[in-house]
Structure 1
Amino acid sequence: MSLKYRVIPVTPFEQNCTLLWCTETNKAAVVDPGGDLDRIRAAVEAEGVTLEKILLTHAHIDHAGGTAELAKSEGLPIEGPHKEDNFWIQGLAMQAQMFGFPAPEVFTPNRWLEDGDTVTVGNETLEVLHTPGHTPGHVVFFHRASKLAQVGDVLFNGSIGRTDFPKGDYNTLIHSIREKLFPLGDDVNFICGHGPMSTFGQERATNPFVSDHRG
């Protein structure tokens, strides 16, 4: 397989920042650098890869808090999320205050992503799905060749993302999961924003919020 990954838990929320890289080129992307940049840089060094970009699923502080600093220090472009999350980026200082994080710098992505777009990591291509509900501009990255999805805080092993934040919506989130993610296939493995990995098939069978058997 020519796309590899390493999950790096960061911030007090143990957010699953992910290092994705193309084995042919050794070029890598950091998905959701929420903080603890020393841990992220150590992983990059350990894997011997070269960072080429930052990818964001959404702009909550535990996912996006380290973005500006990492982009500036490493000279990296930022791709994602969808522009509907811009208000969360503009509100990073407020988010920091709310959760007791150091206030990060506000940034503007080099590229806002839309449903149906693609992003590249080295020679590998990932599909972009706009999956609102947890936040209005949330996106998922799907690598079809290896059946791997990076789903941020849309879906978890046994749970779903919160919808009680501004512009969150429960019904929209359920629709995103059932209509956008599950059709990708039961055998798709996914990395979520917190906690262990799972498959869409496992969640369809057992997740109390979105399984085929829920009441």
Structure 2
Amino acid sequence: MLKHHTIPVTPFQQNCTLVWDDATLQAAVIDPGGELPRILAAVQKLGLKLEQIWLTHAHIDHAGAAGELAQSLQLPIIGPHPQDQFLIDSLPQQSISYGFPLAQSFTPTRWLDEGDTVQIGSEVLHVRHTPGHTPGHVIFHAPQIRHAFVGDVLFAGSIGRTDFPRGDHDQLIDSIIHKLWPLGDDTRFTPGHGPDSDFARERASNPFVRGT
């Protein structure tokens, strides 16, 4: 079965999530934005074998430590969509602007697009391209546990900002309606910041997408 554990990191309290196959303990880390010692301590405590880095998008609080982690442990970086390359290229500048440790730019080992899959052990997750917060944002859906890891597309009670470079509010709402809602009202999700929720609750009460 697929298991997951979330670790809030960086001054932005971004949700970095470990996902793993509990039969093999093979693991991936989603959005290692920073504080690598905390992330690696959790990996060790859980007895996991960290094998991959998955990125939903390339803002500094989600991708800031990806290059360093990949280099130090020789791990592949998978995702996001290639439309976020401009943000990856700007990671050193982003880190300076926001007061983060100097981040490395990189080229992902593998880009992701709509309909792709990622796999850890025997567990397969489905990729959806969900632009709006950034043009290359993706989410990871695990139908076997009815859970999605949605980065900064949707939050409990809110939605992702679209005032960053190449953000698009209409595109974000379209991504939520056409890429997230079809996954099912009973799907729970881990957002990029804040607590987990489920799509039924957000459709009923989130003021930004209520009734969509």
TM-score by length of 1: 0.97
1:4-153 aligned within 5 A = 4-153=3-152
Matches of 1:162 and 1:89, distance apart in 2: 18
Letter in 2 for 1:183: P
The alpha-carbon deviation at position 121 of structure 1 amounts to 1.2
The amino acid across from 1:155 in the alignment is L
- The alpha-carbon deviation at position 103 of structure 1 amounts to 1.6
Q: What SS does the aligned partner of 2:177 have?
A: helix
> Cα deviation per residue 1:147-175 (whole Å; 9 max; x = unaligned)?
01000000000000000001000000000
Deviations 1:59-116, CA, capped at 9 Å, x for gaps: 0000000001111111100100000000000001121122111221111100000100
CA distance in 1, matches of 2:202, 2:120: 28
Q: Which residue of 1 aligns with 2:172?
A: 173
CA RMSD of superposed structures (Å): 0.7
Identity %: 60
2:144 aligned counterpart, secondary structure: helix
Q: Give the AA of the match of 1:160.
A: I
Separation in structure 1 between the aligned mates of residue 154 and residue 97 of structure 2, nearest angstrom: 24
- Give the Cα–Cα distance (whole angstroms) in 1 for the partners of residues 10 and 49 of structure 2: 23
Question: Which residue identity lines up with residue 86 of structure 1 in the other structure?
Answer: Q
CA displacement 1:34-78 (0-9 Å, x = unmatched): 000000000000100101100000000000000011111111001
Runs of 4+ in 1 over 4 A off after TM superposition: none
Query: AA paired with 1:77?
Result: P
Uncovered stretches (5+) of structure 1, i.e. residues with no partner:
none
For 1:13, the aligned partner's letter is F
